Amino acid sequence: MFCPQCGASNADTAAICTQCGRQLQAAIPPVGAPTPLPVQGVVLPPGTTVPNFLVFAILATVFCCLPAGIPAIVFAAQVNSKLQVGDVAGAQAASNNAKMWCWISFGVGLAAIGVWVLLVMIGVVSGIHNN
């Protein structure tokens, strides 16, 4: 890395600059540290990321024909609207609901696939009998 003060090249792991002695590591946020969400004027405390599971809700609704994805989308919207006003606890509650509906969708989807497989197997078996 390059020292932000004097521009000297240093090892990536160097704690201080070999040229000018400036502290280097503190200037870099640790990898994986959640950055605060800048949300329309409301700056949430660092580490606050409330997942809204929107991707999974869309997967369920548009890619798997599952109506249970609709409440998941509604709750996903609620997560972000609560975050926008800084209500982290409310967002967390909505997030839990969104997650629950995603799992319901997943369960219903699995059940539907199971029933389909069963029907196909019965169909195949009865087909063999008829022949």
The yes or no reply on residue 29 touching another protein (CB under 8 A) is: no
**Structure letter (DSSP) for residue 42:** E
- Written as six digits, the tokens of 11 are 């090892």
The yes or no reply on residue 55 touching another protein (CB under 8 A) is: yes
Comparing CB distances to another protein, the nearer of 2 and 63 is 63
What is the 3 state secondary structure string of 52-111?
CCHHHHHHHHHHCCCCCHHHHHHHHHHHHHHHHCCCHHHHHHHHHHHHHHHHHHHHHHHH
The yes or no reply on residue 92 touching another protein (CB under 8 A) is: no
Comparing CB distances to another protein, the nearer of 8 and 39 is 39
Minimal distance, residue 79 CB to another protein, in Å: 8
Binding residues vs another protein (CB under 8 A): 31-32, 37, 39-40, 49, 52, 54-55, 58-59, 61-67, 70, 73-74, 76-81, 83-84, 112-113, 116-117, 120
